Structure 1
Amino acid sequence: MTDVVALRKCIEDSGMTMVFISNKTGMLRETLYNRLSDKKSDFKASEIIKLSDVLGLSNKERDAIFFANESELNSRTEDEAKEVV
């Protein structure tokens, strides 16, 4: 399950726009927005690889964001989620 709060924080910290990220990854902008707003819609493996590359995520950061445990996500506050990355 994707930690969308942590992913949004990485995107915000990168200074990149959603349009730039969608162009660099080849993802439709609508798809990117939908994945970030729908907690039940996980990213495909190819999307994870592309996003990780564009955002410059380490393997540890990638795993913490895209392979988060659902019970951990539910028990964390928003501030704690932002500290993951």
Structure 2
Amino acid sequence: MTNTLELEIAIKRAGITKRKLAEMLGLSEMGLYKKINNITEFKASEIAKLAEILDLKNKDEIFFNQEVI
């Protein structure tokens, strides 16, 4: 499951809007919202692209943490 809080922090830190991020990932804004909030899952290719766009050093903690609150 996605650690929503950590991902939100990473997005803010990168200074990118969710609208622009969704566009860069080829998703609708609603599609991105659903993935961030664990309604649907990110694909491996989307995680790789997010890690690059947001310069994530802790992608495993964000996307592969089993103890997400």
Scaled by the length of structure 1, the TM-score of the pair is 0.70
C-alpha deviation, 1:15, in angstroms: 1.1
Deviations 1:35-77 (A, max 9, x none): 123x35321111111111111112xx1111000023xx24xxx
Q: Which runs of 5+ in 2 are unaligned?
A: none
Matches within 5 A, 1:2-81: 2-37=2-37, 39-58=38-57, 61-70=58-67, 73-74=68-69
Instruction: Please say if residues 35 and 43 of structure 1, whose CA atoms lie closer than 8 Å, have aligned partners that are also in contact.
Output: yes
Give the whole-Å Cα distance in 1 for the aligned partners of 2:28 and 2:51: 16
Pair member with larger Rg: 1
Q: Could you say what the CA RMSD is over the residues aligned between the two structures, in angstroms? A: 1.5
Q: Distance in 1 between matches of 2:7 and 2:53?
A: 12
Question: Deviations along 1:1-57, whole A, 9 cap, x unmatched?
Answer: 1101100111111110011111222222211011123x3532111111111111111
Aligned residues: 69
Counterpart CA distance in 1 for 2:33 and 2:16 is 14
Per the normalisation by structure 2, the TM-score is 0.84
